[in-house]
Amino acid sequence: MQRISVPGQAPLKQPWRRITGVFSFATALVWAAPGQALIEYTAAQEETAVELVEQLEQRHYSKLEYTDELSSQHLDNYLDTLDGGRLFFTAAEVASFDRYRYEMDDTLPKGDLDAAFEIFNSFHQKMIARLEGLVEQLPTMVDAMRFDVDERYQLDPETIAWAKDDAELDERWRLHIKNQVLNLRLADKPADEIVETLERRYNNQLTRVSQYNAQDAFQIYANALTELYDPHTNYLSPRRSENFNINMRLSLEGIGAVLALEDEYTRVSRIVPSGPADKQGELKPSDRIVAVAQGADGEFVDVIGWRLDEVVNLIRGPKDSVVRLQVLPAKAGADAERRSIQIVRNKVRLEEQSAQKRILELPRADGETLRVGVIDIPTFYIDFEAMRRGDENYKSTTRDVRRLLGELEEENVAGIIIDLRNNGGGSLQEANELTGLFIEYGPTVQIRHSSRRVWRDGKRLRSTYYDGPLMVMINRLSASASEIFAGAIQDYDRGLVVGDRSYGKGTVQTMVPLTEGQLKITESKFYRISGDSTQHRGVVPDITFPSLYDTAEIGESALDHALDWDQINPVRHRRYSNVDTLVPQLATFFEERSAMNPEFLYLQEQLEVAAENRSIQSVSLNEAVRRAEREAREAKALEIENRRRAALGEDPIASLDELDEEDALAEDDEDTVNNEDAVDQGSAATMAAIDESPEVISAAELAKEDVLLSEAGSILVDTLMLQEQAYALSTAKNEN
C-alpha cells in the first residue's frame, strides 16, 4: 500500500463530471439505438463493488456510512454526472429511476449493479441515437438557421431543470448546435467548412461512444459515490489506474500540463513547473484546448466533446516530437479567436525543477537601494532513488535552497523571499526539512489519521538556521506541501506571507488495490502547529494580492463535497519575531503604493474585466449582437492597455494586434541574444561561472516583468524600515 499526497492536482471540476459536456448534440428525437448491445457488468466488478463500499466506510477520514441518505445523493449525483447538461433525460424518465433511490445502499454492498447499468444503458442508447440522427440531419439543420433573430443560449447547464417533454429537449439541441455554428462563424471559419467540421466532430464522438464498455460504466457509477466522500477519493479503473501510475513515476512524455474536463472543453488545470509547456510559456491555467495537431504541419483534430483520457493520449507522444494546440484563452468567450501553440514534448527533468535564485534591487524611501534575494521553488522535490543509493550529491529542495541561501548571504542581501507561487506541493519530507532551514527546531505539521490518531513531524534537533528577514509568496495554485511550509512560517511568526489565499488541499490519500482497479482514498488530514487545518480554507496571507485565478473554478473550495476546515489542539511553539504586529502599517503602505503603480492598476483592471466576463450567464445567438459585444470587449481591453502605456510614458497603440507584434519582436530579440551568448560563452568553465552568478534585476524591470513580486519586494523593504525604526526607538528609550 502506498501513501501519497496529491497536492494541487485537483481538477477545475471532477474529471468524470458532466459526461453530457463530452457529447453535445441536437436532432429530432430518436429513442432507440437498433442493434446496440446492452453493456453488462462482470463478476470482477461485483467483487470490486463490495470492496469499494467496505473501504469507504472503514477507512475514509470522514467516517461516512453508506445509508439511505447517501444512496439518494448517489442517485442524483450519478444522473448529474451522466446528464449534467439536461440534454437526454426528461423529468418523467428521471422520476422513473426513483425506485432505486433508497435501495442502492442495500444492493451495492452486495455487488448488485443492476441500477447502475440499467441507467447507464438507457443513457448510452440515447447518446448513440442522438449522434446518429445529428450526423444525418446536420446539413439541413445548419441551412435552416437564421442568425438575425434574438435568441439566447444558456451557458451554465447546472441551472437548467430537467426537460418536461421531448419537444423541450429538441429545442435545447437546436440552440446548442446553433451556438456552436455561431462560434465557428465568429472564429472566421469558412461557411462551407462549418458543417464538415461539425460532422467530423460528431462522427468521432459516435465512434468513441459506441466503444463504451463495462469499465467505463462502472467507473462513472463508482465515482458518483466516491466523490460524495470528498473530491480526492476516486475509483480508478484498470486503464485509468495505469495512467495514474505513469504520472506518479514522472515517466510520461508530453507537454507537462494537468488537464481536466469541464463541460465539453478540456481545460488546463495546472502547468507542471519546468515542463515543456512551462518553458514554452504560452499555455496558461484555465485555457481550453479545442484542437490538437501532430508535428509542425499536421492537421488539427477538433477535440471539443472528447473524453479526457482520449485528449491526453492525443497530446502525449515521443520525446522531442512536436504537438500543436489550438486554445481558447481562459478570459475569452467560446467565440474568441483561437491561439495556436507549438510545444516540443519532453520529460520533466528533476534538475530542471530545481530551486532558482535571483537578486532584486529595490529603492528605500531614503533613496538607498536594497538588495533582496528571491528563491523560486517550483515544487518540493527529492531524488529518493539517488538518496537510497547513498549518492552524497542527491537532489532535493532543502539541499538546493541551503546552498542558494549561502550564496545570497555572500551577496549581502538584506532579506529573502521564498516564492511558492504555482507550487502544487510534492514531498512532505522536503516541506518539513525546508522549514528547518528557517527555525532552530520544532514541529512543522500535524497529521491526523482517520483513526483520529495525531502525529507530528518537523525539525527534531537544534541546529543553525537563516535568521534574517523572510517573506513567503503564495497564490491560488500553491498547494499541500507549499501550504505546510507557508503555514509554519506564519505560525512561528518567522516571516510574512503575502499573495493570494492558497489552494486549500489539506488531505492525504492512500492507494488501495481492488479486485479490478484501485481506490484512491482520503485517509488523513494536515494540520498546522496552530491547530488550524489547511483544508478548504488554505493559508490566508498576511497581506493579500489580487487573485489571478477564478476562485470559483480553482481551489479546494471550488470542488463539490470538499472536506470542511476544522481545528485540533495546537502545539506549543516559539514565536521568532513580532512581524505580525507590523501588518496593519505594511498593508497601508502597500495600498498607497500600489494605487500609484501603473502595472498594478493594469493588472487589477484586467482582473475586473475577467470577472465581468465570468458573470455572463447567457449569450445572444444574434450574430450582429455577438460581434458588437466582442468589439466592445476588445475596445475596453485596448483602452486599459493605452491607459497603462500613458502612465508609463509610452506611445499608445491603435489595436491589440500591435501587442502581438511587439511580443514577437521581443521574442526574436531574446532568441538573438541567447544565440550570441551561446557563441560567446565558450568553455565549460565560463558556463559554470555564469551559472553561479545570480540574476540581478532592477525595480523598473521587475515591475514590468512581475508586478506582484515587485510589490512583495517593496513590502519586505517596508518591513525592514519599520523594524529599524522600532529598534532605534527602543535603543533611545534604553539610553534615557
Give me the active site residues, please: 480, 491, 505
Find out whether 539 and 487 touch, Cβ atoms under 8 Å. yes
Q: CA angle, corner 713, sides to 710 and 714, nearest 5? A: 90
Distance, CA of 617 to CA of 714 (rounded, Å): 39
Report helix, strand or coil for 653: coil
Find out whether 78 and 17 touch, Cβ atoms under 8 Å. no
Distance, CA of 491 to CA of 476 (rounded, Å): 20
Helix axes 166-186, 191-210, angle to 10 degrees: 130
Residue 85's closest CA among 12, 179, 22, 16? 22
Phi then psi dihedrals of residue 705, to 5 deg: -80, -45
Distance, CA of 39 to CA of 8 (rounded, Å): 35
Phi then psi dihedrals of residue 700, to 5 deg: -65, -45
What percent helix, strand, coil does the chain show, rounded to 5? 45, 15, 35
Query: Which residue has 459515490 as its cell numbers?
Result: 225
Find out whether 336 and 328 touch, Cβ atoms under 8 Å. yes
Q: Report how far apart the first and last C-alpha atoms of the chain are (Å, whole number).
A: 67
Distance, CA of 185 to CA of 181 (rounded, Å): 6
Residue 294's closest CA among 310, 314, 274, 268? 314
Query: Which residue has 551561446 as its cell numbers?
Result: 678
Q: Which helix (H) or strand (E) is 602 found in, with range?
A: helix 598-614
Q: CA angle, corner 116, sides to 113 and 121, nearest 5? A: 120
Residue 454's closest CA among 538, 567, 573, 540? 567
Report helix, strand or coil for 472: strand
Distance, CA of 193 to CA of 198 (rounded, Å): 9
Q: CA quadruple 654, 656, 659, 661: dihedral positive or negative?
A: negative
Find out whether 10 and 230 touch, Cβ atoms under 8 Å. no
Distance, CA of 201 to CA of 210 (rounded, Å): 14
Q: If you write DSSP's letter for every residue of 442-467 in order, what string do you get?
A: EEEEEEEETT--EEEEEE-S------
Report helix, strand or coil for 524: strand
Distance, CA of 674 to CA of 403 (rounded, Å): 27
